[in-house]
Amino acid sequence: MEKRRFTREELYGLVAVLFVIILIVVLLRLYKRETTGPSNNQASTAQQELSDFEAQIKKDSLAWVKQHPHWNNEKVVGKLFPFDPNTANYETFMALGFAPWQAKNALKYRAKGGRWKSAEHFSHLYGLSEQDFARLRPYIVIHQENNERTQYRNDSIWRQRVEKYTLGTKIDINEADTNALKKIPGIGSYYAGKIVRYRERLGGFVSKQQLKEIDGLPDNIEQWFFITKQIPNQVYINKVSFKQLIRHPYFNYEQTKAIINHIRLNGPLRNWEELRFLGIFTKKELDRLYPYVAFS
């Protein structure tokens, strides 16, 4: 039997077929590597990054505990002393019993321009529990200074210091400016400004008890004041505009609207009896209005 011999064209064709088969096999292997290899590598990389991150946290925590062994006992609450969270540095927070990350949160908040306006405002610090805040609350002292003059840089504890009055000192509540008011213990720029603005809206104080109408003032604040006997600036009720009348603390929106409408439709109010007849004030409200209202 004669062996079949391939022609040159057939050999070329066979080689071409083999080449195509080999190429397909190679491409299939490359495709498999491309679809499986990177995924495994990514998972491995992500896992490694996570492991490194956890290891770094553990390393940092262990290093910090070695430097501060008292934190091994979670019941350690630190010392208690007056502090201003707007000026306290890292060491101060730590001495008060803050965790390191809590102290850093406070400093980061300030570094971004944040400032706490009251003790209750400070209670919103991320990570500060209600229990910790209750422990610290009596010792939080917020110094309300002029924001344009007060600067907090690089955790410094600089603040403008104001000499305070000694117990027994009294000042005229209707004459004192903000500088005099800030010398009262517990009063800074913020509350000094509130007192002056409220006095201006009233037209002057006629009783020290009116200070209780200002939210947030310290208890027994009236012990620092006396009042000279003088007539406050009065509101000429028949001549003022809606905006002028409602600016007074003792007139609300509905009362102001009723008075202005009555005067517009019926003419001026002539006396207290006519004002009382409108039925928009209680006896207590009329009593406190008495020093401040004039009809002509």
pLDDT digits (tens, 9 = 90+) for 52-97: 544 443 454 445 445 555 544 454 467 888 889 998 898 888 888 8
DSSP symbols for 163-231: PPPPTT--EETTT--HHHHTTSTT--HHHHHHHHHHHHHHTS-S-GGGGGGSTTPPTTGGGGEE----P
Per-residue pLDDT, 262: 96
CA 262, CA 279: separation in Å to the nearest integer? 12
Ramachandran angles phi, psi of 231, nearest 5°: -80, 130
pLDDT tens, residue by residue, 269-291: 999 999 999 999 999 999 999 99
Instruction: Please give the torsion angle defined by the CA atoms of residues 153, 155, 160 and 164, in that order, rounded to the nearest 10 degrees.
Output: 170
The CB density around residue 247, as the number of other CB atoms within 10 Å, is: 14
Q: What is the pLDDT of residue 240?
A: 95
- pLDDT score, position 66: 52
Q: How confident is the model at residue 15 (pLDDT cuts 50, 70, 90)?
A: low
pLDDT, mean over the chain: 79
pLDDT tens digits for 230-283? 789 999 999 999 999 999 999 999 999 999 999 999 999 999 999 999 999 999
Mean pLDDT, residues 25-42 taken together: 57
Q: What is the DSSP code string of 263-282?
A: HHHH----SHHHHHHT--S-
SS3 string of 135-181?
HHHHHECCCCCCCCCCCCCCCCCCCCCCCCCCCCCCEECCCCCHHHH
Does the predicted TM-score (pTM) go above 0.85? Answer: no
Average pLDDT over residues 147-163: 47
Contact present, 288 and 272 (Cβ < 8 Å): no
Lowest mean pLDDT among 22-31, 129-138, 151-160, 206-215: 151-160
Q: How far apart are CA 135 and CA 125, in angstroms?
A: 15
How confident is the model over 127-139, as a mean pLDDT? Answer: 83
User: What is the pLDDT at residue 106?
Assistant: 86
100 vs 172, more confident: 172
Give the pLDDT score at 177. Answer: 95
**pLDDT for res 137:** 86
Of 226 and 19, more confident? 226
For residue 159, pLDDT over 60 is answered with no
User: What's the confidence (pLDDT) of residue 49?
Assistant: 52
Taking residues 181-202, report their average pLDDT: 93
- Please tell me the distance from the alpha carbon of residue 159 to that of residue 153, in angstroms, as a whole number: 11
Alpha carbon distances (Å) from 110 to 99, 106, 238: 17, 6, 50
Q: Higher confidence at residue 4 or residue 288?
A: 288
Q: Is the pLDDT of residue 183 over 80?
A: yes
pLDDT at 11: 62
Position 63 scores a pLDDT of 52
